């Protein structure tokens, strides 16, 4: 097979511009590449492309492939002889490749706004006080694509709240949205009246009102906080964040060089990692020999099998709970509401793709979603 030179392709795409060089130099023998989930295309566009490329008379399997076109389908009755390369086919391939290359070369692209920034508490005696204001903002998901978002403290995801097991924690919510809201601490075993569910544990917090939650941080682990009112809309619009309770006595396996939270979402802003779509997603950088902890959190409504190239992940926690024994994988299904903590031992140097393996969440005809290598089916036969 002469059509697959993924490494060459990825490396050349990533080494040309100066910024790329600097990134790679920085990462040195770096192991973990970019989290790449999102799409240049919206879900609707993906579907449209899939439909457009599925000519009548083609198999259903082919129609399901968003990139499939006549060029890669042998309709002559099963012969494997290559088609002669037509000039216009070649031009189409070049045009598509150029779009893909442009996307990769833009990575990591600058956008306005950064979510998931650690929020420093204000101390009230021994109580850690976190103030979060929910309001409408404009959010740049990828370069030039600004969307309406509902955000905590103008960030998507909202600011990261990180406390220690046993801390007294107060979260003050201020609602500046045009509808009522609440905050639910997902996975945190709070007293019932702090659970943040309207008409079950509290009244909704009306526009203009504030509401205070307070509890002692219980079960350690990677948790989340998000709206629990009209949540399909409110969480989809961005009212979500990481709520991490660090254990009093960490296990030896938790000693890492890089601790990275990856919030996955698939709401109104498309497929995003920490509120951004490729190429505006963030690279995860480590040196060879370092250990990276990844905390996957799915705030969306779909499953996302997260796949890392070149190295395996060692799963240590599910929803904050230690696994009976750590286990290994390279693709980890993260369902809505789930949190998975994994360790990556960065043993294999290079820039590696890291993406959701439901492929329409990560690539399309128009854009290459990064260092994901698309096995471009339009490529002319050799
Ligand atoms: Cu996905």
Cα separation of 30 and 26, whole Å?
Answer: 8
Whole-model pTM? 0.77
Cα of 305 from ligand 1 centre, angstroms: 6
> Looking at residue 19, what is its pLDDT?
43
pLDDT digits (tens, 9 = 90+) for 219-257: 999 999 999 999 999 999 999 999 999 999 999 999 999
Cα of 124 from ligand 1 centre, angstroms: 41
Task: For ligand 1, an ion, list residues with CB under 5 A.
Answer: 304, 356, 358, 361
> Looking at residue 84, what is its pLDDT?
62
> Looking at residue 366, what is its pLDDT?
62
Q: Write a three-state SS string for 173-233.
A: EEECCCCCECCEEECCCCCHHHCCCECCCECCECCCCEEEEEEECCCCEEEEEECCCCHHH
Cα of 34 from ligand 1 centre, angstroms: 15
Pairing of strands 210-216, 240-246: unpaired
Give the CA radius of gyration of the chain.
Answer: 23
Largest CA distance in the chain: 79
Cα of 282 from ligand 1 centre, angstroms: 17
Each residue's pLDDT, cut to its tens digit, for the chain (382 residues) gives 333 332 222 222 222 233 444 443 333 223 233 343 222 223 333 333 333 333 333 333 333 333 333 334 334 445 555 566 677 889 999 998 998 888 888 888 999 999 999 999 999 999 999 999 999 999 999 999 999 999 999 999 999 999 999 999 999 999 999 999 999 999 999 999 999 999 999 999 999 999 999 999 999 999 999 999 999 999 999 999 999 999 999 999 999 999 999 999 999 999 999 999 999 999 898 998 999 999 999 999 999 999 999 999 999 999 999 999 999 999 999 999 999 999 999 999 888 889 999 988 887 766 534 223 222 222 333 3
Cα separation of 4 and 119, whole Å?
Answer: 45
> Looking at residue 31, what is its pLDDT?
29
């Amino acid at each position: 097979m002469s059509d697959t030179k993924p490494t060459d392709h990825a490396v050349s795409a990533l080494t040309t511009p100066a910024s790329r060089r600097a990134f790679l130099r920085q990462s040195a023998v770096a192991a973990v590449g970019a989290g790449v989930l999102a799409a240049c295309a919206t879900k609707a566009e993906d579907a449209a492309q899939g439909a457009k490329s599925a000519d009548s008379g083609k198999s259903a399997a082919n129609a399901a492939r968003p990139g499939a076109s006549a060029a890669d389908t042998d309709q002559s009755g099963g012969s494997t002889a290559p088609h002669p390369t037509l000039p216009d086919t070649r031009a189409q391939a070049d045009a598509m490749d150029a779009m893909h290359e442009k996307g990769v070369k833009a990575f990591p692209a600058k956008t306005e706004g950064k979510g998931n920034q650690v929020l420093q508490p204000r101390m009230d005696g021994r109580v850690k006080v976190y103030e979060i204001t929910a309001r409408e903002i404009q959010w740049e998901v990828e370069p030039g694509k600004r969307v309406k978002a509902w955000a905590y403290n103008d960030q998507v995801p909202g600011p990261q709240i990180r406390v220690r097991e046993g801390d007294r924690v107060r979260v003050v919510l201020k609602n500046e949205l045009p509808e009522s809201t609440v905050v639910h601490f997902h996975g945190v075993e709070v007293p019932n009246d702090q659970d943040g569910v309207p008409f079950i544990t509290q009244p909704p917090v009306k526009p203009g009102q504030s509401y205070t939650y307070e509890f002692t941080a219980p079960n350690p682990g990677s948790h989340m906080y998000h709206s629990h009112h009209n949540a399909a809309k409110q969480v989809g619009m961005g009212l979500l964040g990481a709520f991490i309770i660090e254990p009093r006595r960490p296990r030896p396996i938790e000693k890492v060089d890089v601790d990275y939270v990856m919030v996955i979402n698939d709401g109104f802003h498309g497929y995003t990692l920490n509120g951004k779509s490729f190429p505006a997603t963030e690279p995860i950088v480590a040196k060879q020999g370092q250990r990276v902890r990844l905390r996957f959190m799915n705030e969306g409504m779909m499953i996302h099998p997260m796949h890392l190239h070149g190295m395996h992940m060692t799963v240590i926690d599910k929803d904050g709970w230690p696994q009976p024994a750590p286990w290994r994988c390279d693709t980890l299904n993260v369902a809505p509401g789930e949190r998975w903590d994994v360790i990556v031992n960065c043993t294999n140097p290079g820039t590696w793709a890291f993406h959701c393996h439901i492929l329409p969440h990560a690539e399309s005809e128009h854009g290459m979603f990064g260092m994901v290598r698309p096995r471009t089916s339009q490529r002319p036969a050799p």
